[in-house]
Every structure is written in C-alpha cells, then in structure tokens.
Amino acid sequence: MISKKMEDQINYQINRELYSEYLYLSMAAYLEDKGLAGMANFMIVQAQEEHFHAMKFFNYLNERGGRVVLDTIEKPPVEFNSPQAVFEESLEHEGLVTGLINKLMDMAIEVNDHAAKSFLNWYVDEQVEEEASFETIIAKLNLVQGKGDGLLMLDKELSTRVFIPPVK
C-alpha cells in the first residue's frame, strides 16, 4: 500500500506528464506551421514519450493500491519566438520536470518507500537523457544560428525519430 502523501504527489506528477505531452503537441503544431515537419515529428515523438511516462505513473499508482485522480490540464503556449526558442523552452521545461522527479525521490526517501525509490530510479535516469537530447539539439541550432541550410539539415535529421516504448 502506498502512503497518501506519495499517492497525492504521484497524482500531481501524472498531471504534469500529461501537460508535458500537451506542451510538446503544441510545439509540434507551431513547428509544422513553420514548415519544419522534421522538428514537428521530433516533438510528436516527445509527446508520445510523455504520455508513456504518465501512463507508467498511472499504472504504478494502481499497482500500489492508490487511486488515480486526474486534474485539469492547463493550456500550453501556442506561439513561440522561433524554432530555436521551442527547443530552449523544452530544455527549461525538462529542467522543471527533473526537479519534480527529484522531489518525488526525496519524498520516497523521507517516507522510506523502497518500492517508490526503485520505480523512480528509472525516471531519474530518463531525465538525464531528456535534458541531454535537448542540449544536443540546441548546440546544433547554435552552430547554424537557427537558420539557413543548417536548420533544414537538422529538420531532416529530426524527422527520423520514432517512438519506441522502453522495455522497462
């Protein structure tokens, strides 16, 4: 059985993961509108990952005897300053998510919930990967100054990303 305190925080996290999905879909729509279908594809795959993360929490909470309680998902921004700004805002957002995951881990340690600590280790590792992915893309955007042929080459590169659900 999971503590009420952990249950409440995991429910909050489920909602944040669903917001992340919504945010990345909004970013995909913006990028598609700008003619950057590859970058839009990258964000759609990112949205699929966020949905997977939410459902992983959803299933975990059910397995632990908790009750999933969904909340309203806030409206994400729909306009961005540039394609590069989309990726910079994504990195900033992932930093916020990392903070939330760390807060959950701190709580699991505080309430001595070994199952939650084990479960959350996957998310801790995942957030390192998420942030590194956005940092790499931003570094490339900086190299090409976010425009020209370099932007189009990066767009083509990002078109190849596909969602593969993690095994674990």
Dihedral, 102, 68, 113, 115 alpha carbons, nearest 10? -90
Rounded to whole angstroms, the Cα distance separating 81 from 21 reads 20
147, pLDDT greater than 90:
no
pTM for the complete prediction? 0.95
Which residue ranges form the domains of the chain, and what is each CATH number? 4-70+80-158 (1.20.1260.10)
- Biggest CA pair distance of the chain: 55
Rounded to whole angstroms, the Cα distance separating 80 from 51 reads 23
DSSP 70: -
80-135 pLDDT per residue, tens: 999 999 999 999 999 999 999 999 999 999 999 999 999 999 999 999 999 999 99
